[in-house]
Amino acid sequence: MSGILVFAEQREGKLNRVTYEAVLAGQRLSAQMGLSLSVALLGFGVDTIAQELATKKANTIYLVNNEHLQSYTPDGFSLAMRQVIQELQPKYVLLAHTYLVRDFAPKLAASMGKSLIADCVSYKLEEGNLTLVRQIFQGKINADVSIHDSAPILISFQAGAFRGDDVESGSAEVKALSVKLSAEEIRLQPQELFREAKQSVDLTQSKIIVSVGRGIKSQENIAIVEKLATALEADIGASRPICDSGWLPMDRQIGSSGQTVAPKLYLAVGISGAIQHVVGMKNASAIVAINKDANAPIFDIADLGIVGDLFEIVPALVEEIEKAKAEG
Amino acid sequence: MKIIVCVKQVPSRDAILRINETGTWIQDRDLAYDVNEPDAYAVEEALQIKEKLGGEVVICSLGPDRVQMAIKEGLSKGADRAIHICDPALDNLDALAQARAMAEVIGKEGFDLIFTGLQSDDYGFAQTGVILGELLGVPSATIAMAVEVQEGEKSVRVKRELEAGWFQWYKLPLPASITIQSGLNQPRYATLKGIMNAKKKEIRKVTLADLSLSRELLTPKQKIERVSFPVKSKKTEIIDGSAKEAAAKLVTKLKQMRVL
């Protein structure tokens, strides 16, 4: 075969829903390019996930069942996936750009002398020529990337690049595919997954969140935003760098490694809107952004924006809110 | 313990980016540059391990002459010496081609640990550390939030950040390559004494002529053809006027939204 192969991600026996985004990308490309579509599912005892995948429109679900794939390791997954690719000879291999894929896909690609085209947000197909669109400079700029390589071409798509809910239903055949792995090849020993217990602030139920980012410049300035939060009776959130610096506790962090929130109003102050942050707040009913850079990606998703100096705007805003509240 | 820390210099995060006339890259003439943020955490982690266990921290950076600023920052904080891979033929390649050049240098140098930041602010490949591990035949782990070298210095425990607040510890035999996440430590500032000491430290320059890489191995398999500002998916209403005017207008909107 010389088709499209999608990597299905599961961990601890649960399918990562973002897999459907990669499957949808595969469905679209397979229709446009006239290529067959297969999905590879790696794990141990994950037959029910294969059945779940088989309800989607694809030619074949390849179930790779091996005891050395029970717990995820980059060694096991990249060795197994390489054998799957050698067996199936796909033209394109599509993956969702998750933390797990980031951990093994560059290794898989390099082991075959390939260059993974990572974290793409869309593709363009012109006269049979595939171009990928990647974000560079933390989402501030898009780059059209051309491919100068032979099959297999490995591409990962950013979470949210495709709407997983739009994946087409159908029925695919499930086939077993065996790989050879030995214990010595798996150099890493994984331990149990865990969560930090100290998550004491739950921002998922907040109605209004005032969130602060790098633009605040110093810890002392956090007070400026806290005043705004008080005036709006809002909870305070933050982007990663603020928590990394210890200016606000880790449980205030919103984004891919923090909390995912959906308040009525999300007011982003001095937040540029890197994808890692955006995935945690894009479902807010209304997004207001205050940022000095008119090209900041946060303005791509904001409903309302003020371009300017937060150190002037936020105090003025607090004053106006107090005035409005006094007027009732 | 010998730790190689790969450091990249990238445009400052608050730099206002403009696109060049041909639309092929940004205008990079008057840009301000910084050390890539997670790389600064990688340097700190290496220094802390060295302070505990002894050994050597070597900074490795690939890029034009300007990256010496980033190298010197690491040396000023306490790294022992540096390798600067500097050749115009190595700029703007894909992650695989650049990692091939770095892997040859690092392989000859020898190491117990390689630290890289988990991704760069500019290209955002998020691949170099993992590819280095593969090319050098050592295990890798990504997005580390803690690194513990085990007794006897034969293995390392790495706390990996997963999504949605989950973590997982992995044990890797040494040598290994680990990509470092921002926030796992508090990077130090260079002291005046450190800055003075750094001037005496070795920065070894390596050019393409010192490497045995064929042209084919350095040919990028992916190329940026065109860059553009993202098309807005949502129509953002920009509120203009002075700070006071904009604030008043926003309050009116907030009332309409019934959040006030």
What pLDDT, in 10s, does the model give residues A243-258?
988 899 988 999 988 8
Q: Which domains, from first to last, does chain A contain?
A: 4-185 (3.40.50.620), 203-327 (3.40.50.1220)
Residues from chain A contacting residue B27 (CB–CB below 8 Å): none
User: Are B12 and B33 spatial neighbours (Cβ–Cβ below 8 Å)?
Assistant: yes
The tokens for B85 are 């891979």
What is the chain A residue with the closest CA to B243? A313
Answer yes or no: do A102 and B251 touch at CB < 8 A.
no
Q: Residue B130: which residues within 8 A CB-CB, separation 6 or more?
A: A74, A102, A103, A104, A106, A107, A110, B140, B142, B177, B179
Which residue positions in chain B have pLDDT lower than 70?
none
Residues from chain B contacting residue A321 (CB–CB below 8 Å): 251, 254, 260
d(CA A124, CA A120): 11
Answer yes or no: do B230 and A139 touch at CB < 8 A.
yes
Q: Which of B127, B134, B170 lies nearest to residue A190, judging by beta carbons?
A: B170
d(CA A22, CA A113): 23
Query: Quick one: angle between helices B128-136 and B95-109, nearest 10?
Result: 50
Q: Which of A148, A288, A319 lies nearest to residue B220, judging by beta carbons?
A: A148
Closest CA–CA distance from residue B216 to any residue of chain A (Å):
11
Answer yes or no: do A191 and B125 touch at CB < 8 A.
no
What is the domain count for chain B? 1
Closest CA–CA distance from residue A173 to any residue of chain B (Å):
31
Residues from chain A contacting residue B251 (CB–CB below 8 Å): 317, 320-321, 323-324
Answer yes or no: do B224 and A145 touch at CB < 8 A.
yes
User: Are B49 and B3 spatial neighbours (Cβ–Cβ below 8 Å)?
Assistant: yes
Residue type at A252 in one-letter notation? R
Closest CA–CA distance from residue B105 to any residue of chain A (Å):
17
Let me know if residue B156 belongs to a domain. Answer: yes
Residue type at A121 in one-letter notation? V
Ranges of beta strands (E only) in chain A are 4-8, 10-11, 14-15, 37-43, 60-65, 92-96, 117-126, 129-136, 141-147, 153-157, 173-176, 189-195, 208-212, 235-238, 265-269, 286-291, 304-307
Residues from chain A contacting residue B187 (CB–CB below 8 Å): none
Q: Residue B209: which residues within 8 A CB-CB, separation 6 or more?
A: none
Q: Which of A103, A144, A302 lies nearest to residue B226, judging by beta carbons?
A: A144
Let me know if residue B231 belongs to a domain. Answer: no
Let me know if residue B185 belongs to a domain. Answer: yes
Closest CA–CA distance from residue B51 to any residue of chain A (Å):
22
User: Of A60, A41, A19, whose CA–CA distance to A156 is shortest?
Assistant: A19
Residue pointed to by tokens 């802390």: B48
Report helix, strand or coil for A219. Answer: helix
What is the chain B residue with the closest CA to A311? B243
d(CA A237, CA A250): 10
Partners of A237 in the β-ladder:
A211
Q: Which of B16, B142, B163 lies nearest to residue A256, judging by beta carbons?
A: B163
- DSSP for A140-171, written as a single string: TEEEEEEE--PSPEEEEE-TTSS-GGGPPB--
What pLDDT is attached to residue A135? 93
Let me know if residue B73 belongs to a domain. Answer: yes
Let me know if residue B149 belongs to a domain. Answer: yes
Let me know if residue B255 belongs to a domain. Answer: no
User: Of A269, A265, A208, whose CA–CA distance to A238 is shortest?
Assistant: A269
Residues from chain B contacting residue A241 (CB–CB below 8 Å): 37, 182
Q: What does each C-alpha distance from B208 to B100, B119, B216, B218, B244 come to in angstroms?
A: 11, 24, 13, 10, 57
Answer yes or no: do B163 and A147 touch at CB < 8 A.
no
- On the 0-12 / 13-18 / 19+ scale of CB atoms within 10 A, A1 is middle
What is the chain A residue with the closest CA to B187? A245
Answer yes or no: do B168 and A115 touch at CB < 8 A.
no
Closest CA–CA distance from residue B202 to any residue of chain A (Å):
31
Closest CA–CA distance from residue B25 to any residue of chain A (Å):
9
Let me know if residue B112 belongs to a domain. Answer: yes
Answer yes or no: do A303 and B234 touch at CB < 8 A.
yes
Answer yes or no: do B227 and A208 touch at CB < 8 A.
no
What pLDDT is attached to residue B226? 96
Residue type at A221 in one-letter notation? N
Give the torsion sign (CA, B26, B29, B33, B38): positive
Q: What does each C-alpha distance from A255 to A271, A283, A325, B147, B208 come to in angstroms?
A: 12, 12, 31, 23, 41
User: Of A201, A257, A255, whose CA–CA distance to A229 is shortest?
Assistant: A201
Which residue positions in chain A have pLDDT lower than 50?
none
Answer yes or no: do B251 and A116 touch at CB < 8 A.
no
Query: Quick one: angle between helices B68-77 and B37-53, nearest 10?
Result: 30
- The long-range contacts involving B234-239, CB below 8 angstroms and separated by at least 24 positions, are B234/A300, B234/A301, B234/A302, B234/A303, B236/A289, B236/A299, B236/A300, B236/A302, B236/A303, B236/A304, B236/A305, B237/A303, B237/A304, B237/A305, B238/A294, B238/A299, B238/A305, B238/A306, B238/A307, B239/A304, B239/A305, B239/A306
Output phi, psi for B205, to 5 deg: -90, 135
Interface test with A, best of B222, B223, B235, B237 (most A CBs within 10 A): B222
Residue pointed to by tokens 């909390």: A259
Q: Residue A15: which residues within 8 A CB-CB, separation 6 or more?
A: A8, A9, A49, A52, A53
Residues from chain B contacting residue A304 (CB–CB below 8 Å): 236-237, 239, 250, 253
d(CA A19, CA B42): 31
Residues from chain B contacting residue A118 (CB–CB below 8 Å): 124-127
Answer yes or no: do A144 and B182 touch at CB < 8 A.
no
d(CA A225, CA A324): 18
By residue count, chain B amounts to 260
Residue pointed to by tokens 């010389």: A2
Q: Which of B141, B169, B225 lies nearest to residue A191, judging by beta carbons?
A: B169
Interface test with B, best of A82, A99, A283 (most B CBs within 10 A): A99
Let me know if residue B35 belongs to a domain. Answer: yes
Interface test with A, best of B26, B250, B252 (most A CBs within 10 A): B250
CATH of the domain at B35: 3.40.50.620
User: Are B251 and A176 spatial neighbours (Cβ–Cβ below 8 Å)?
Assistant: no
Element (H, E) at B235: none
Report DSSP state, residue A119.
E
Answer yes or no: do B224 and A149 touch at CB < 8 A.
no
Can you give the residue range of the structural domain that contains B61? Answer: 2-218
d(CA A285, CA B28): 38
